[in-house]
Structure 1
Amino acid sequence: MNGFWGSDWVARFADEVIATADRRKPGATIVCASGLSPSGPIHLGNLREVMTPHLVADEIKRRGRECRHLLSWDDYDRFRRVPAAIDPSYAEHIGKPLTSVPAPPGSRHTNWAEHFKASMIGSLAALGIEVDPISQTAMYTSGAYTAPVLLAMRERKRIDEILGRYRTKESAPDGPSDGAGTAPAPSEYFPFKPYCLQCGKDLTTVVRYDDDTTEMTYACGCGHTETVLLREFTSGKLVWKVDWPMRWVYEGVDFEPSGVDHTSPGSSFQVGGLIVDGVFGGKPPIGPMYAFVGISGMAKMSSSRGAVPTPADALAIMEPAVLRWLYARRRPNQSFKIAFDQEIYRLYDEWDGLERRVAEDEASAEEQVAHARSTQTALGEMPLTPRPFPYRTLASIVDITTGAEEQTLRIVQGLDTENRVTDLHELRPRLDCAERWSVTYLPADQHTTVRAEPDRHLLASLDEGARESLWLLSERLTDDWCLGGLTSLVYGVPKLSAGLPPDAGPTQELKAAQREFFALLYRLLVGRDTGPRLPTLLLAVGPERVRALIDPAGIA
């Protein structure tokens, strides 16, 4: 596969990053970066913030270059709002750093930030994403950023002038999003926001600052006023539009993508590019915009509001390689949706088709490289299901069997009689994914419940033609008891009933007769007009029970 690695968007970004890094800092380790705020559930849109630089960093590593992928946890950000599912009393913590807010009730983690980090850390490991994590709480409170903070305060007028180019009359300098309880507005702009040593919140205003001594006086909305030496003070942080470019220089970042909201005119990335050059003496990283990731049937995701699907939710219903593929096959500026509804059937059909084309060397170069980036990393291979039966088939089976393993094994053994499954482990993890999807996301009215007794009223109402079709099906049911044999049978019975040979070509009349026959079988077996694919349903129900439910002689 080595011959096609240079044919996709990942390789093109890697080319650009390597060339730029070699020009700016010859011989230094290349740095790709991501940033996540654990303010709430870290959703599948946030995953693009990590997956995009991961793929580029992974490609750089493949080429034998030293590359770090930094994941900056913005856990020193302020707690802005209480998600809908959390006790409203948590409003008392608004304005505190996320690491100073108690974890949600029942959590085993030490604070709010650690609680929401945990799920994402596990998901990144499952997806084969290797990162170097950095806690912004640790960086600020340890004094690591003291020098750039002092520099930003000395250059506050220049920063204010840059920010002022993009401010409107309605907008205000960076600060808390809720003005209630904040101290009065300062007479001049300061890019540093203290966390009050009395109440722990950032409802503060810097009142005065002396560049020579670094003496800073701040006032808080809680009533506390204090004078400190900023060169020793570690309770606070730079405002976001200054903090971000400061980190680019501090960490030597070469590549960091950002969302649409950070790349519009006057946004954080554009302003940061001016500040990093004019204040911190550096250059902005290569920073492509990435588009939103949606969910089938859901609006745009917002982690601060809660109730959004996370990578862990997606990994519960799809294999890691498939989830990687969704991000790898699309350029960052292309939006896409992740299926939690029955579109997941189509997704898996596409994936299985790709797997076949790759195995048979019929995939395009673009398809091959997207598949390779989904199934391999510089560290090794991603786990795949040994016997990848169709997802929709497995979902139907576990729905009908309610996960009973012995019955499930019996049914899947009929899917391939020439190479029978001997252990359900051959179907995992896909089988487990399909089962969790069926239990969690299949609409209640679409779950399959096989009738316990024949529908005698329906059987008694059938005309001679319908009865003849059911007799034909019953007589030939076990002639070829496997998925292929049953598929041929259910499509073939309407042909035989019409006096046509089994290999008769499709006509409008024949298609109508087949649809009518299928609907009758569904009503007799599950009490509605539709259901799982009939061959799979027949396999699941078993020949004896099928005959008992469709036998017109059973109406007595």
Structure 2
Amino acid sequence: MSRRRGGEAAESTSQDWVATLADEVIATHEKEGDADRTIVCASGLSPSGPIHLGNLREVLTPHLVADEIRRRGIACEHLISWDDFDRYRRVPKGVDGIDDSWAEHIGKPLTSVPAPRGSAHENWAEHFKAPMVDALERLGVPFRGISQTQMYTSGAYVEPTLLAMRERARIDEVLGRFRTRKGPDSEGAAEGGDAGVDPDEAVGSTTGEYFPYKPYCGACGTDDTTIVAYDDATTEMTFTCACGSSETVLLREFTRGKLVWKVDWPMRWAFEGVDFEPSGVDHSSPGSSYEVGGLLVREVFGGRQPIGPMYAFVGISGQAKMSSSKGGVPTPSSALEVFEAPLLRWLYARRRPNQAIKVAFDAELSRLYDEWDALSRKVAAGTTGAIEALGHARSVTTAERALPTTPQPVPFRTLTSVVDVTTGDPEQLGRLLSGLVPGDPEDPVTLDDLRPRLDCAEHWVEHYMPEESHTRLLAAPDEELLASLDDTDRESLRLLLEGLEQDWSLDGLTTLVYGVPKVQAGLPMDTRPTDELKAAQRRFFVLLYRLLVGSDTGPRLPTLLLAAGPEAVRRCLTAREH
């Protein structure tokens, strides 16, 4: 029987995808009779370009399952295989520090390609691995990284490589069950995906014999090579290259090459004893790498196929499907500049793997923060359901540690408005703290109490706020508009200016701006709004926006007033004496 955390009732997590998958992994592990062996969850990442938010699902799905298993006191590790020995396929677009000259490196291992100009890293792969490693640390994801360059060049995979070469006819037969004989004319095929014939499936040009191995040329360094002869007994291999060179080597001593993808993946399942590894939609269709790998790991490498749910794509508000090879895509590092780490974890944890995820960098981000804050309040009050509580717990803590959170979580929408109006000036921000957060005079709130969320808001305003959404107070009062006001409008401004002296806080200003039309109508401040009263409030709000920012709309008026400060508000709402 699988073990649940803290004796939790099974029915309380029956709809919780993380616990369900952890149950399945543990049960399979125990059924195999190797309960003393550490459970292995795995991910694979190719540092061929920016590692984007779609790739993050490849990591967070097994991370959450491994974390749940460790929370139950069961030994489990998370492996991340860096596919840095893969070939460099194309020069990506939108990557700073490179130009068309990088095309001369196409076909070389990623670790043999120079890093973009100005990079502090020794090669292409390390340049794109580094920000992902940093992001995973910030997200609370412990893992053991495996460099495929190191594994292949150290000779760690010599024996399984020789096995694959001996069993090449059987491998060819398995692959042949799924070949479509179509050319690699889709993006997926061109990227080494599952559409058409995999371009990584090597065939000797002389005999037509299939070889599941691609050597890198010693002369030009690329894999534009063809094996023309191989002897099983001696492991002598001869291959030629498009550059004109030819080599004869002993494969048992040769480490400058790798198994093709559809053979390499199941080989690693067996080599590392992987129990759980999800895969994207493109690797989970009929005849895909995952299905073919399941046959090869059993029939050739003597291992077992890991539990491997399919995960759906991750989209970005306003953008199409992400592709590392095209560059210019949001990465986990860039997301963490505007998302608090627990919030980003929550976006992935709350959806089942087969459900699509949308990550918002536009105005929807404020709504996501509002959802997160509402959930946090419900959890603190003990009024949320078991599934929501688990999702929240997995987002703010791991089996090893708690993630940093903002001590005073002011609404993100409010922070962005304040940052925008004050242009991020620390002195003005500090002045507004008393209005944003009720503080103890003996222990005043500081800007640090609003971080990291304040930093996220500042970055969003600078890099993501649409230009037309920026709010700037008028430098001088609109004398013409003020002169044209009728008695009702003048009275509303007088009531507002008098009220500013009473409670300069977000709640106080909210009560004031909604209450002025009520007072004018002779109603108590706590009167529930009628349609007529709502119309009067809208008229009053439009007047304030026109006088403050020269527009009919803007950020929430209480926030705008708070950010502007009493002096600026009085300046905009009061006609100058002539």
Alignment TM-score, normalising by the size of structure 2: 0.93
- Number of residue pairs matched by the alignment: 552
2:466 maps to which of 443, 448, 455:
443
SS of 1:249's equivalent in the other structure is helix
**Equivalent-residue separation in structure 1 for 2:246 and 2:439 (angstroms):** 80
- Answer yes or no: is the 8 Å Cα contact 1:456–1:555 preserved in 2: no
2:134 maps to which of 122, 141, 144:
122
Shift of 1:390: 0.7
- Answer yes or no: is the 8 Å Cα contact 1:451–1:526 preserved in 2: yes
**Equivalent-residue separation in structure 1 for 2:484 and 2:101 (angstroms):** 63
Residue segments in structure 1 that go unaligned for 5+ positions in a row: none
Alignment-derived partner of residue 510 in structure 2: 487
SS of 1:96's equivalent in the other structure is coil
More off after superposition, 418-427 vs 211-220: 418-427
1:403 partnered with 2:424: yes
Shift of 1:183: 8.9
**Equivalent-residue separation in structure 2 for 1:265 and 1:348 (angstroms):** 39
**Equivalent-residue separation in structure 2 for 1:438 and 1:204 (angstroms):** 51
- Answer yes or no: is the 8 Å Cα contact 1:5–1:369 preserved in 2: no
Shift of 1:444: 1.1
1:187 maps to which of 188, 201, 208:
208
More off after superposition, 343-352 vs 60-69: 60-69
Shift of 1:62: 1.3
**Equivalent-residue separation in structure 2 for 1:450 and 1:35 (angstroms):** 50
1:254 partnered with 2:275: yes
- Answer yes or no: is the 8 Å Cα contact 2:205–2:228 preserved in 1: no
> Deviations for 1:34-73, whole angstroms, at most 9, x for unmatched residues?
0000000001110110101111111111111111110000
- Answer yes or no: is the 8 Å Cα contact 1:33–1:256 preserved in 2: yes
2:78 maps to which of 66, 69, 82:
69
Shift of 1:497: 2.3
**Equivalent-residue separation in structure 2 for 1:101 and 1:293 (angstroms):** 29
Alignment-derived partner of residue 351 in structure 2: 330
Amino acid at match of 1:213: T
1:538 partnered with 2:561: yes
1:499 partnered with 2:511: no
> Deviations for 1:311-363, whole angstroms, at most 9, x for unmatched residues?
01111111111111111111111111111111111001001101100000001
SS of 1:381's equivalent in the other structure is coil
Alignment-derived partner of residue 244 in structure 2: 223
Amino acid at match of 1:392: R
SS of 1:284's equivalent in the other structure is coil
1:88 partnered with 2:100: yes
1:514 maps to which of 534, 537, 542:
537
More off after superposition, 479-488 vs 130-139: 479-488
SS of 2:337's equivalent in the other structure is helix
**Equivalent-residue separation in structure 2 for 1:161 and 1:445 (angstroms):** 60
Give the alignment of 1:41-440 within 5 angstroms: 41-85=50-94, 86-171=98-183, 174-175=198-199, 184=205, 187-417=208-438, 419=440, 421-440=444-463
Flag as ranges the 4+ runs of structure 1 deviating above 6 A: none
Amino acid at match of 2:513: V
> Deviations for 1:251-288, whole angstroms, at most 9, x for unmatched residues?
00000000000000111000100111111111100000
Alignment-derived partner of residue 31 in structure 2: 23
Residue segments in structure 2 that go unaligned for 5+ positions in a row: 184-195
More off after superposition, 513-522 vs 128-137: 513-522
More off after superposition, 352-361 vs 413-422: 413-422
Shift of 1:3: 6.0
Alignment-derived partner of residue 554 in structure 1: 576
Amino acid at match of 2:92: P
**Equivalent-residue separation in structure 2 for 1:22 and 1:185 (angstroms):** 49
**Equivalent-residue separation in structure 2 for 1:154 and 1:418 (angstroms):** 73
**Equivalent-residue separation in structure 2 for 1:357 and 1:233 (angstroms):** 60
* Change beyond 3 A, Cα 1:555–1:89: farther
**Equivalent-residue separation in structure 2 for 1:9 and 1:175 (angstroms):** 35
Shift of 1:415: 2.3
- Answer yes or no: is the 8 Å Cα contact 1:74–1:136 preserved in 2: yes
Shift of 1:547: 1.5
1:458 partnered with 2:481: yes
**Equivalent-residue separation in structure 2 for 1:316 and 1:416 (angstroms):** 23
Identity %: 66
> Deviations for 1:135-194, whole angstroms, at most 9, x for unmatched residues?
0000001111011111111111111111111111214754359x9xx9957611110011
Pairwise CA RMSD of aligned residues?
A: 1.8
- Answer yes or no: is the 8 Å Cα contact 1:277–1:283 preserved in 2: yes
SS of 1:462's equivalent in the other structure is coil
**Equivalent-residue separation in structure 1 for 2:438 and 2:169 (angstroms):** 77
